[in-house]
Amino acid sequence: MGSRTLWSFMNRLQTQIFTFFVVLLLAIQAVSFWMTYNGNQLLQSQRLDNQMSVARLVFQSEYENRNYYLSAFADTAAKDFGLKDIFIDGDERSFLVALNNHRKRIKADMAIAVSAEGMVIGQLVLEDRVDPDARVQLGSEQNQMFRYQFDTEFQTINTLYRLNDRVYQIRFAPLTSGVDAIIGWVGFGYLIDNTLADTLHQLTSLHAGFLLIDESDNALVIASSETATDVKNLDVVLNYVQQDIADLDFILWKEAIGTVDSQTLYAYMYVKRADVLQTLEDQWGQQLSLILLMLPLSLIVAFYIARSVTRPINILVGQAQYIAKGNYESQVSIGNSIEMQRLANEFTAMQKAIVSREQKITHQASHDPLTNLSNRNGLEQTVIPWITQQYQVVIFLINVRRITDVNVTLGHIVGDEVIREVGRRLSDMADIDLVCRLSGDEYVLAFRSLPNNKLPAFLERLNATMDPEYRYQDIALHLQITVGISSMTPGADLITLLRQADTALHHAKSNKLPYQVYDIQIDKNTVGGFQLLNDLKTAIDGQQLVLFYQPKMTIETNTVDQVEALVRWKHPVRGLIGPDIFIPIAEKTGQINALSRWVFTEAIDQYLRWKKQGITLGIAVNLSAENLANQEFTQWILDMTIQHDVPPSAFTLEITEDAVVADPEAAIEVLCRWKLHGFRLSIDDYGTGYSSLVQLKQLPVDELKIDKSFILQLLHHADDQIIVESTILLAHNLGLTVVAEGIENGETLDWLRRRACEKAQGFFVSRPVPADALEQWLASGGYVTASSET
Amino acid sequence: MRIGAAFFLLLWVSFSQAATEVIVVDADNNPLAGVVVYATSPDTLLSPTDAAKTTDIHQYNKAFAPFITVVAQYQTVRFINDDRITHHVYSAMGPERFSFKHRKDAPSISMTLNNLGDVPMGCNIHDWMSGHILVLPTPYFGMTDAQGRVSLVGVPDGDVNITVWHPQLVITGATHQQSWTISLPTAAPTRLQAAGTLGVIPKQEAPDDVDFLGSY
């Protein structure tokens, strides 16, 4: 939980921006710190270098100046004729005075004259140069042999002269008679003492001093800018001078000036690094404290920047949540910056785009793209509220007939145009509350309220609307529609209404009616079909199926020697169900063979039962195309007659015209085998299929049954009469007997009799009835079987 | 005619009697030119007539001419200022120390040299001027020519000291002279090799920075 909180905290933009700025600021300060530090270091080292090189120059200048002074002055003094004159006069006392006069002129600490023979003929030493009253005394080497050997280069070399504990810088010049005769040497010296060291110290601000180091490495400080010889950092100086070990806390300089009496004289200067850098350190400290002071300040600034950057985003987040709730009307406004205003504009634009797209999607969701009519969603959205408000809603389910044929023959473009046209015409009609297109060729007209008495008038108008030919390019189409109508009943919902309309529509279609108003009765037969699916298997296996028999009366003799077995389903719940309902189900669900086997087996049993009772009736059994295609079944039916020892000629197998058309060759082969076996064969529902006369000629059938659709209205339709008459003629010519179905009156029967139609079947003769009822009918009606007669 | 013959005879006798030929070379066997060569003998004494001899030393063109003047003891040198300017001639060391100003157009100044040795001279006004007077206890001296050759006339036979001297001749021990003892007469010129070489002889010329002197 804690890590998750941390994670979400770290992933916040504000945190990230803040972090970014903090890192940036730290980096900048680090760089600035580094640069300052480096600059300082550079400045330090430059300052130290400067100090050192200045010190070196100062020393050299000071020291060389003294040498130059001494040298130049010795030259001048040696050239002075006054001195030479003394030699001419031989006045030694005057010579010393003259020498001292010269010494005073340059405030030399020592003046010395050496004869050509090397005798110190004058040595004057100033005891204390600081004390103005100090006396000049004869040096301890007066009248002694000079300790050093002169040569011609004497005056040019860097000469140090030691007298007792004092070391002098000394320069000599030759005193000559003429040019090439040297009388002697005149020299002047400056003491290397604390005064010199002090001067160097004042000029360089470095501690300065001089020390002698003998061959045994013993050091003697002879001058120092510090008090006397009390050099505070003597060890450091000595280490550096003697062993060249530099203490890093000090800046050190040394120079070997020369040797005197086998001892090396060193000049040294030094300063404690810290002393030089003290001011720099102070600046450095200020800088550092400034940086430290800036740090929290920068952090606060970074925090505010991060917050001000993310504030518009937070506003946007709030705005987005607001929009997500469906509030599209708000104007987004965040901050004053151009970027944020643009973002806000984009946000507003997006909001509008969402609105428009949502409207489009909503429209598409509730509308059909082809016709732009409402679709099922639209229907639901509109009608469900009506139902809720208990309006007397009426639904028209309209099917455009033969649209599949149009698609196949004229193409989908024409099909679509037809669909659009129908939609247009429906939309143009007045009084319709809602026009929808449900699917391919199905439309729904919804009325919020449509009294029953207005229905016929509306249907009239609907017909009138659809009546005009529709011309698409050069094609003239007659728009035909079938209508299923359902109206609101208490407790129904839209789905029920649509299903009822659908049922009505199907009913209308199968009965070739232009429209059908839903009736509970239609529903019984139709809707149940779906539920019957599962029940059918149990029906076949159990005792729910029953055969009804309808007589096929011989017209000429008014006798019955044959009946058609028709299957009925005694549904335990739904009651008696006709074959129109469940045979298609059986066909679709692969149960037709089982059904046919039951029927045929039952027919044989009935035949045998009647046989026992002394009734001899041939039984016709309906077989479907499926049965014909099933080899097992075709053999089984042969085996059954043998197994039950019944004459095949007692059984007529009725096959619909369509069953033959499907696969004529296979059908003919099967029929030939059956024919050979002895079965009577009959073509059922003749005239509804599309069999050719060639096929009819080839079929090994005995009988032809004219479909009842030709017979029902036979007396009212001349064309039916032509068809029936010619069919009978044709059948007779082919050697077939003819059965007319659907005879409902005597006139029709008479008409057929006159045309020599062999058999009649229909309500006029008898409805299909159970076996026992048929027996009674046979007994009461005087219809006797042919065989019974014979 | 007889006088001329006698002079010729005398000259010949002198020559045949005492012409001592000496050739001086330095340590590197190079001839030493312009060095003083003189012979001394305990028997040799200077005659008073010799003292009457006067040798001139000119100050000409701000230089001593000659650079080296050799005289016998008690002889006189006469300083003659040929220049149109004043010189202040002095010697501050050696046997004869003196100092005098020698103005232009002033008469010559004579000086008798009674002490033996080298008298180094200078001019207090013209520092570069340099001259030497060598005062010898013998009349037998000469200066070598470019080949280092010199003839000393009249030196008596027997063992004599021959000394070679020059202010710039540097012999070990920082002296400027070297002596040999030879027996006269010698059949051939005596070759003497000095144990040193000749240093740089002062040029007696004004340094460049005082060139302006030429205009006065």
Please check whether residue B130 touches A, CB under 8 A.
Answer: yes
Q: Are A784 and A778 in contact (CB under 8 A)?
A: yes
Question: Which pLDDT band holds residue A523 (cuts at 50, 70, 90)?
Answer: low
Contacts of B122 in chain A (CB under 8 A): 176-179
User: Which chain A residues are closer than 8 Å to B93 by Cβ?
Assistant: 87, 116, 177, 181, 183
Q: Is B90's CB within 8 Å of A181's CB?
A: no
- Per the listing, tokens 């040696």 go with A78
A43-79 per-position pLDDT tens digit: 777 877 888 888 889 888 888 888 888 888 988 888 8
Tell whether B122 lies on the interface with A, counting CB pairs under 8 A: yes
What is the band of B14 on the pLDDT scale with cuts at 50, 70, 90? very low
Of B93, B127, B131, the CB nearest to A87: B93
CA distance A30 to A20: 15
Around Cβ A487, how many Cβ atoms within 10 Å?
Answer: 21
- Structural Rg of chain B based on CA atoms: 19
Q: Mean pLDDT over all residues of chain A?
A: 83
Count of beta carbons in the 10 Å neighbourhood of residue B167: 25
Instruction: For A174-228, write each residue's pLDDT tens digit.
Output: 888 888 888 888 999 999 988 888 888 888 888 889 988 888 888 888 888 886 5
Among the partner-chain residues B93, B98, B124, the one whose CB lies closest to the CB of A181 is B93
* Residue A740: predicted pLDDT: 93
The letter for the amino acid at A127 is E
Region B157-179 average pLDDT: 86
What is the predicted pLDDT for the residue at A151? 64
What pLDDT score was predicted for residue B11?
42
Range name among A1-5, A276-280, A337-341 with the lowest pLDDT average: A1-5
Indicate if the pLDDT at residue B46 is higher than 60.
Answer: no
Beta strands in A541-603 (DSSP E): 545-554, 559-571, 575-577
Asked if B121 lies within 8 A of A84 by C-beta distance, the reply is: no
Residues of B in contact with A85 (CB under 8 A): 90, 92, 99
User: pLDDT grade, residue B6 (50/70/90)?
Assistant: very low
Write the residue in A85, A116, A177 that is nearest to B122 by C-beta: A177
B97 touches chain A (CB under 8 A): yes
Contact yes or no for B92 and A88 at CB 8 A: yes
DSSP A227: S
- Please report which confidence band the pLDDT of residue A584 belongs to, taking 50, 70 and 90 as the band edges: confident
- pLDDT, residue A532, reads 62
Choose among B97, B118, B129: nearest Cβ to A88: B97
CA distances from A57 to A60, A63, A168, A258, A494 (A): 5, 10, 21, 18, 115
* Nearest CB neighbour to A88, from listed B99, B129, B168: B99
Whether A181 has its CB under 8 Å from any CB of chain B: the answer is yes
Rounded to whole angstroms, the Cα distance separating A187 from A113 reads 6
CA distance A593 to A590: 7
Q: Are A178 and B168 a contacting pair at CB < 8 A?
A: no
Determine if the peptide bond prior to B185 is cis (ω within 30°): yes
Distance CA A705, CA A622 (A): 12
pLDDT at A129: 66
Say if residue B4's pLDDT is above 50: no
Contacts of A79 in chain B (CB under 8 A): 127
pLDDT at A533: 64
User: Which is it for strands B36-40 and B141-143: parallel, antiparallel or unpaired?
Assistant: antiparallel
Residue B9 has a pLDDT of 40
pLDDT in tens, A480-512: 888 999 888 887 888 888 888 888 888 888 777
The pLDDT of residue A786: 42
Pair of tokens at residue B182: 């030879």
Q: Is B167 on the interface with A (CB under 8 A)?
A: yes
Q: Is the pLDDT of residue B164 over 70?
A: yes
Residue B124, chain A, CB below 8 Å: the answer is yes
Residues of B in contact with A88 (CB under 8 A): 90-92, 97-99
pLDDT of residue A586: 79
CA angle A71, A75, A80 (to 5 degrees): 145
More confident residue, A153 or A485: A485
Give the angle A203-A208-A213 at the CA atoms, nearest 5°: 150
- Judge: B167–A180 Cβ closer than 8 Å, yes or no: yes
Residue B202 to residue A179, Cβ atoms within 8 A: yes
In the predicted structure, residue A115 carries a pLDDT above the cut 70? yes
Q: Does A524 touch chain B (CB under 8 A)?
A: no
Q: What percent of chain B has pLDDT over 70?
A: 82
Q: Name chain A contacts of B91, Cβ cutoff 8 Å.
A: 88, 177-178
A487: its two tokens: 């109206």
In chain B, residues 53-82 whose CB comes closer than 8 Å to chain A = none
A222 CA: distance to closest CA in chain B (Å): 37
For the question of whether the overall pTM of this predicted structure is more than 0.95, the answer is: no
Reported as half-sphere exposure (CB side, CA atoms, 13 A), residue A375 has a value of 14
SS3 label, residue A343: helix
| Ramachandran angles phi, psi of B183, nearest 5° | -100, 130
> How do residues B182-202 score in pLDDT, each as one tens digit?
888 888 889 999 988 888 888
Helices and strands: H and E segment counts in chain A? 26, 27
DSSP one-letter string for A40-85: HHHHHHHHHHHHHHHHHHHHHHHHHHHHHHHHHHHHHHHH-HHHHH
Which residues of chain A from 102 to 161 reach within 8 Å of chain B, CB to CB?
116
The pair of structure tokens assigned to A267 is 């000049």
Q: Which residues contact A384 (CB under 8 A, 6 or more apart)?
A: A493, A494
Q: Taking a C-beta distance cutoff of 8 angstroms, is the pair A424, A435 a contact?
A: no
Is residue B124 predicted with pLDDT exceeding 50? Answer: yes
Q: How far is B202 from chain A (nearest CA, A)?
A: 7
CA distance B111 to chain A (A): 16
Interface test with A, best of B62, B88, B93, B175 (most A CBs within 10 A): B93
**Per the CB < 8 Å rule, is A87 touching B98?**
no
The token pair at A241 is: 């001078």
Q: Is the CB of residue B138 less than 8 Å from the CB of residue B44?
A: yes
CA distance B101 to chain A (A): 13
To the nearest whole Å, the CA of A115 is away from the closest chain B CA by 11
- Distance from the first to the final alpha carbon of chain A: 104
**Contact: A84, B92; criterion CB under 8 Å:** yes
Give dist(CA A377, CA A439) in Å, integer: 12
With beta carbons less than 8 A apart as the criterion, state whether A371 and A423 touch: yes
Nearest CA among B198, B193, B202, B201 for reference residue B169: B198
The 10 Å Cβ neighbour count of residue A260 is: 18
From chain A, the residues in CB contact with B131 under 8 A are 178
Mean pLDDT of chain B: 83
Check pLDDT > 70 for residue A463: yes
**pLDDT-based confidence at residue B135 (cuts at 50, 70, 90):** very high
Say what the pLDDT of residue A569 is: 86
Q: HSE of A698 in the Cβ direction (CA atoms, 13 Å)?
A: 14
A450 closest CA partner among A507, A497, A416: A497
Distance from CA of B35 to the nearest CA of A (A): 16
Contacts of A118 in chain B (CB under 8 A): none
Q: For residue range A243-267, what is the model confidence (pLDDT) as tens digits?
A: 888 888 888 888 888 888 888 899 9
